[in-house]
Chains A and B, each alone.
Chain A
């Protein structure tokens, strides 16, 4: 079945540094990928929609200059948390649907747990 791979699974970084998270669709192409964030005991919140070859679309309240998204190919989207602070500590999850299959399920990565010290 369709697989979305996310890397790294967990990362600890110091305040002020930047962290890049990769999301790959392993056996399908995805023109669109979605990035979510989940705080402890809460539900997933959509951060942005990543579009291959164009700019990402950010949800209200999500700083585009802080959360840089690059979708350079049909199988890879990256989320860079710039100048991370402790409040950015969260579980980041990407998802994708195979291109041309609007009715098919979304496939999710296993998430990246970011801890900013």
Chain B
């Protein structure tokens, strides 16, 4: 799987938007961009994924650069419960393959 680069940590104020960046300059044409997050002492949970177009769901939005070499996960209004480690992962489909986790971004939310 192609490598991704994320900042080690970010901080946000509660109820403000958060933009979590991810660089993936070696992405291939068939790689999907996945975001997962891991709350303290829990297993990771799926957040969102996309291929080329921007994606929205109830948790977040995913903005994908036109050249697909970077993407941004957007939390529209951060809450204290959003404090977690966010992982940006590239995955080529098909194939029932595991996810390979990098170090992710640790998001702190300040009340």
| A contacts, CB < 8 Å to B | 4, 6, 31-32, 34, 36, 43-46, 49, 91, 93, 95, 97, 102-103, 105-111, 113
Contacts and interface: CB of A to CB of B under 8 A. Distances in A.
Contacts, number: 54
Interface of B: 32, 34, 36, 38, 41-46, 49, 87, 93-96, 98-104
Nearest 6 pairs between A and B by C-beta? A108-B43, A105-B46, A102-B94, A34-B98, A44-B101, A43-B101
A108 B44 contact: yes
B101 A111 contact: no
Contacts of B87: 43
Contact of B95 (A36, A93, A102): A102
B45 A97 contact: no
Contacts of A111: 41-43
A97 B96 contact: yes
B49 A105 contact: yes
A110 B42 CA distance: 5
Contacts of A91: 41
B57 to A, nearest CB: 11
A1 to B, nearest CB: 9
Contacts of A95: 43-44, 98-99
Contact of B98 (A43, A46, A105): A46
Contacts of A32: 96
A105 B95 contact: no
Contacts of A34: 98-99
User: Could you say which of A4, A34, A106, A108 has the most chain B C-beta atoms within 10 Å of its C-beta?
Assistant: A106
Contact of A106 (B32, B38, B41, B46): B46
Given A93-B43, A111-B43, A113-B41, A102 B100 contact: no
